[in-house]
Structures are given as structure tokens and as C-alpha cells.
Amino acid sequence: MTTASAHGYPRIVEVRGAHPDRIVIGPGLLSDGAALAQHVRGRHVLLVSDSTVAPLYVATVREALHAARDDLLIGTFVLPAGEASKTLSNFGAAIEALATLGATRDGCIFALGGGVVGDLAGFAAACWMRGVDCVQLPTTLLSMVDSSVGGKTAVDIAQGKNLVGAFHPPRAVFADTSTLRTLPARELRAGLAEVIKYGAIRDARFFQWLETEHAALSSADESTLALAIAASCEHKAEIVERDPMERGERALLNLGHTFGHAIETEQGYGSPHNDNLNHGEAVAVGMVLAARLSVALGMADHADTERLIALLKAYGLPTAIPAGLAPGALLARMRLDKKNLAGRLRLVLWRGIGRAEVVPDVDEDRVLAVLSG
């Protein structure tokens, strides 16, 4: 359920079920020390951020927390920005930071940044003393609509993305839309790919709204973005409530991700220092590949694929596999996807816009044909 004050902010999405939490959406939330501090049960706080976000917002959050509770002991752990930092080594360094801080079981980790920070910080929270609290403070559109919600945490290894992790729902999520003003245009587009995904998997009307509002969203209109964030979080919250551990329906949220993760891993993870596809861009390409495979399997019409491609292009997102990636190598990466069972490919495909489903035992030859173009 989504609620809002009389002037529209903040918007609140309640995540119910076995692990309830609250997603708060609006401007200025990082400065609301009272709201942030209410989720700290003890005295120890570790702020985890990255080298891009920390100079912009760590001081704001630290000062807000201290203003609300001057007894807090606050440490900071900063990662180099980029997916390449989401490693077991940096996870270990975060654990060391918790030990140095002296964090006890009532301590709290605040994940201040994008998906990389949220995933690694959440995993550290899941493991320190077998689980401490985590509050997600997403600063990218992608993390606001996807990775900060639902409690999936992980790091990458050489063999693939997000293969080492845990389910650890946050105590709360504060999506401060003011931070999107400093978000690079490419990162905004990456987040919009995940927003489009929600329309593609389960809401044809939302997909149509995204077609209509692409100019406002692409120009980062704050009120329109807030609506898109709230709608996306509502979709994810409804699914997570019913399937928190991804035993069934939650897998639908991975439309485009099996293909996309294979591209990211094979190409090398995107970072501020290279031009490789970032996560949202890889998911955009992955959704197109999933749609094309759905057509090849007789599940969907070609017209819906073309409509998806047109929408992604309208938002400036890629729709084709980057040059130089071998189809066989991508397929090999896909075999290690977490959704697979008994060594067989299990993919999220669709029967058209708004009608995704999980398809087991997908023929690898058909997948290879799609990867080969």
C-alpha cells in the first residue's frame, strides 16, 4: 500500500509479510535524523558508501544522526565506486570495519549509495554476529526501485554476479529523491530500465504510462520520478510479500537478468573508468533477448518485442549485445544463473507486455540462436 501526505511527500510504501519494512520516498530524507535514528536500536552505526557518493552525502547523514542522538558511535567504510568493488575482499573489509567499531548485535549498518553499496552492506549486515540491522539509503534510481527493496544481498565472484549472498530484509528504506539531482544521466537511464521492467512483467497500463511520460522521466522531473519510484516499489513489495525467499513468483522480477548478468560478467563489470554496460543497460538488452526468445518459442507476438525495443530506445537504452561477446561464452555464463534447477536453464520470459512467466527446461539451442542474432 502506498500513502502520501497532503502535499504529496513523502510517499510511503509498506512492505508487509514475514519481514515487514517501510519504503519512504521523497526529498530531504537524508537530513531527517529523527526518522533515520529511530531504526538504530543500539549505539553503533556503520555508514557504508562509495567514493562517488560519500563526498556528497556522508557528512549530511552523520550530522543528522548525531543531531538526533548524540550518543551514537558512527564509523564510515567507503568502497571505490563501481561493480568491480562488489567482492569478497571488500565484504571482508566491511566486516573488519564493524569489528574495529566494536559493533554489537544491536548495531546498524546504513547503506548509502547505489546497488553495489546496498548489496555489499546488506550482506555484511546479514553476516556480522549472524545478523544486525540494515537501513538502505539508495542514491540512484536503480537502487531506489530495485536493489534496496526486498532484502537480496550479495557479492560477485569471477564465475558470476551475485553468487555469494543472503536474504536479509532492511529495517527501512529511505529513497531521498533529492539525490537524483546529482545522478549522471547514464545512471538515470540505467534505473529507468528497471522501471520499464515492472511494466513488462506485470502491468501493461504502467508500460503505457512510461511510453507517455518518457520526456518527463528522461529529463528527471522530480514529481514524475517520484510517481515512477512509488509504482515500482509497490509492484516489488506486493511480490516480495508473497514470496520473500524467491521460491516462485519473485523470480519474475528477474526478467532480462539472466541474459544481462551473463553480459556483465563476460564483458567485465561497468565502472566510472570504462564503457562496459552497467547493470541497467545490460538488463535492457536482456529484456529484448528474453522477448525475442519468447517469440521464437511461440509464446508471444513480435509486435510486443518491437514495442519494448522502441520504449527502451526512447529512454536512450541499448537493445543489442555489445560487439565482441561470443554467444557460446554468454550461454556458459547463463548456466550458472541462480534460477536454474538440476542443471537446466530456467528463464523468465513473457507472453506479451505485462505477462511474464518462469519457463523451466529451456532448450539451449534456442537460446544460442537468439544470442547469435
pLDDT in tens, 22-35: 999 999 999 999 99
Whether 279 is a known active-site residue: answer yes
CATH number for domain 2-182, candidates 3.40.50.1970, 3.40.30.10, 1.10.10.10, 2.30.30.40 = 3.40.50.1970
Which among 243, 240, 252 has a CA at the least distance from the CA of 201? Answer: 252
Which one of 7, 130, 181, 247 is the catalytic residue? 130
**Is residue 326 within a helix (H) or strand (E), and if so which, with residue range?**
none
Domain span(s) for CATH 1.20.1090.10 in the chain: 187-371
Q: What is the pLDDT of residue 9?
A: 74
Domain span(s) for CATH 3.40.50.1970 in the chain: 2-182
pLDDT in tens, 233-279: 999 999 999 999 999 999 999 999 999 999 999 999 887 778 899 99
Q: What is the pLDDT of residue 361?
A: 95
Which one of 44, 86, 171, 250 is the catalytic residue? 250
Which one of 189, 261, 292, 307 is the catalytic residue? 261
Q: What is the pLDDT of residue 81?
A: 95
- Whole-angstrom CA distances from 12 to 9, 76, 227, 237 are 9, 28, 11, 12
Which one of 83, 234, 246, 264 is the catalytic residue? 246
Whether 39 is a known active-site residue: answer no
Indicate the burial class of 317 (C-beta count within 10 angstroms; 0-12, 13-18, 19 or more).
buried
What does pLDDT average to in each consecutive run of 10 residues of the chain (373 residues)?
58 85 95 98 98 98 98 98 96 98 98 98 98 98 94 94 95 96 95 98 98 96 94 95 92 97 93 89 98 98 98 98 97 92 92 97 97 95
Which one of 161, 257, 292, 333 is the catalytic residue? 257
What CA–CA distance (Å, rounded) separates 198 from 84? 27
Whether 16 is a known active-site residue: answer no
Whether 171 is a known active-site residue: answer no
Which one of 236, 292, 307, 333 is the catalytic residue? 236
Distance of alpha carbon 269 from the chain centroid? 15
Q: Give residues with Cβ within 8 angstroms of 333, minimum separation 6.
A: 160, 261, 262, 265, 266
What topology is assigned to 187-371 in CATH? Dehydroquinate synthase-like, alpha domain (1.20.1090)
Q: What is the pLDDT of residue 204?
A: 98
- 106 phi/psi in degrees, rounded to 5: -100, 15
- 300 phi/psi in degrees, rounded to 5: -145, 165
Q: What is the pLDDT of residue 2?
A: 58
Which one of 162, 187, 197, 254 is the catalytic residue? 254
Whether 254 is a known active-site residue: answer yes
Whether 14 is a known active-site residue: answer no
Whether 194 is a known active-site residue: answer yes
Q: What is the pLDDT of residue 6?
A: 41
What's the pTM value of the predicted model, to 2 decimals?
Answer: 0.94
Which one of 171, 279, 292, 333 is the catalytic residue? 279
Whether 339 is a known active-site residue: answer no
